[in-house]
Amino acid sequence: MKRWQNLSLILKTSHLIPVLLFLIPVSVSAAPQPAKQSEADSKLQNLIRELEQNEALYQDLKLKVNEIYEQPPGNARPKWKVENRTEYSILVQGQKFREEETKAGQFRVMPQRNQKNQKFFIEGKDSTLSMFDGTTYRRFNETDYESVLAGGKRTQSKRGEVSDLPKRLDNFARPHMLLQLRYPYVPLSNYLSGQKAMVNYPGLPPYPQPFQVKVQIEGTGEIQGLKCTKVVIEQLNDSDVRFAKQIIWLAHERNLIPVKIITYRDQFSEEKPIEEAFIDEWQELGTGVWFPQKAHIDHYNFVLYKYNDTYELDWRRHLNVNQVTLHPEVQQQVFTKLNFPQGTTVRVRKDHKQSKYKVGEEEQKSAKKE
């Protein structure tokens, strides 16, 4: 009788065995997840520390770069093409900098409605000198363009700025960010460290609120014969919705400088990149210290792809680094000396107050925020 009772108990509970067998592997497989996450985070932090060490090699430098802009590149649409050239001269000493930028050539303009004899591009020149001495930011901009309307008229302006708010330097002075023509204007190590690191970097950003990032290392690969670490960066808005993604290849034998960057904009396409950037040639400044010499950036036409399903280049930038000097001798007045020419309208900001004046006129007037 006891033997039959035991057999009955086994039969009643036997239907639970498959369930238990199913549950066991689930609980076991879920346990290592925090460890995997910790391992991935540890690798990222090690990479960021290594990047910081390499970025320190370029804190003090003198740099000359020229850029050729073509829209569209080549001879695809010769009647529609515009081309201009920009010369950059940059001097950096820690957080202090002096940057001269002169752009000349043709510039695309959008014609206005109900206006006759308008052009799709104009000839002109735009020069900017900006400097920061660690305390005060100074800037002078001078433009000279032909009028959008035909007739040979010119549009000219001279504007100056003096401010106690620090500004950030363009990415040209950072070899690790050379292929990033736009934001974020911070070192690559800060970019990979996330939103808080970008916000806390010295100087005012050119955008009101930096985006959030999710960074993942996806192993290694080879680009142009160089062993690289592949890093995927997702950019998210404040609602944790991704709006862009970048894939960056950091070259091990080139001080972890990115040799290739592919950028996707979700509004454009999640499969086709909107931008591709490459280092084409390198120069060795000293034993084991490298700097890009030539690079190019291709940008695809978002409008044509969205409305015509045509995938073609919109513009291309060719970058040529003509001169690089590490640890140059610097006279401190180069970060402070800026004489505004006669007729320049200068805006001044100091201690949360703003004013403006015109060089040649003594009276200063209060100025509203722009």
> What is the Cα–Cα distance from 104 to 124, expressed in whole angstroms?
6
Residue 14, SS3 per DSSP? helix
- 9 within domain boundaries: no
Reference 108, options 95, 98, 118; nearest CA is 118
Q: What is the pTM of this model?
A: 0.85
- 322 within domain boundaries: no
Give residue 344's domain range: 59-173+330-360
Domain count, the chain: 1
- 130 within domain boundaries: yes
Predicted local confidence at residue 366, as pLDDT: 60
274 in Cβ contact with 263 (< 8 Å): yes
Predicted local confidence at residue 19, as pLDDT: 35
Kindly give the parts of the chain with pLDDT less than 50.
1-31, 370
> What is the Cα–Cα distance from 253 to 232, expressed in whole angstroms?
20
Predicted local confidence at residue 206, as pLDDT: 61
Residue with tokens 């985006």: 211
> What is the Cα–Cα distance from 96 to 307, expressed in whole angstroms?
46
- 6 within domain boundaries: no
Backbone torsions φ then ψ of 184, nearest 5 degrees: -85, 140
Tokens of 36: 């995997």
213 in Cβ contact with 195 (< 8 Å): yes
79 in Cβ contact with 71 (< 8 Å): no
- 17 within domain boundaries: no
- 48 within domain boundaries: no
Please tell me the total number of residues recorded for the chain in this structure: 370
- 339 within domain boundaries: yes
Predicted local confidence at residue 21, as pLDDT: 33
Predicted local confidence at residue 138, as pLDDT: 97
Predicted local confidence at residue 216, as pLDDT: 97
Predicted local confidence at residue 255, as pLDDT: 98
Please give the share of the chain, as a percent, with pLDDT higher than 90: 68
- 12 within domain boundaries: no
304 burial class (0-12, 13-18, 19+ CB within 10 angstroms)?
Answer: middle
